Structure 1
Amino acid sequence: MIYRIEAFDRKTEFLVFEEELPPGCDENLAAIMNWSSKQQGWEGYELSNDQLASLEKLIGKNVFDPKYTFQLTCNGR
């Protein structure tokens, strides 16, 4: 699976940027997102501030900005 953090402008709701999570982080990601089942490849999730902070550690980059809402998307390879 390919996982991405997507940032959307709060006013326009347009996608502003996205960050791809590194391959092989599925176990860590499942724990952060509290998933109990395997992802299918079409899901999208609103991210809490705590989830985003944990995901920032996985990508090694701070992306939070209060101007944006954040989602995690999952796409099959």
Structure 2
Amino acid sequence: MRYAVEAFDKRTEFLAFAIDLPNGCDSQLAEIMEWLSPQRGDEGYNLSRGQLAAIETLVGRAFYDPGYIFQLTCNLD
């Protein structure tokens, strides 16, 4: 499974940037997102500030900006 955080501009709703998450982070994301079942590969989730902060720690990079809406996408490899 491939995961990415996508940032959408709040004014235009256009995709501003995306950050690919590291391979093999499935179990960490399941805990952060509180998933009870495996992902299918076509999901998208709005991220809370707390979830986003945990993902920033996971990738070792801060990217939060209040001007964006953040979503996590799950895609099959």
TM-score of the alignment, normalized to the shorter chain, above 0.5 = yes
Give the corresponding residue for 2:20.
Answer: 20
Partner of 2:37: 37
Q: Which structure 1 residue ranges, 5 or more long, are not aligned?
A: none
The percent identity for this pair of structures is 57
Query: TM-score, length-normalised on structure 1?
Result: 0.99
Q: 2:4 maps to which residue? A: 4
Offset at residue 42 of structure 1 (A): 0.2
Task: List alignment gaps of at least 5 residues for structure 2.
Answer: none
Give the structure-2-normalised TM-score.
0.99
**Aligned-partner residue type, residue 53 of structure 1:** A
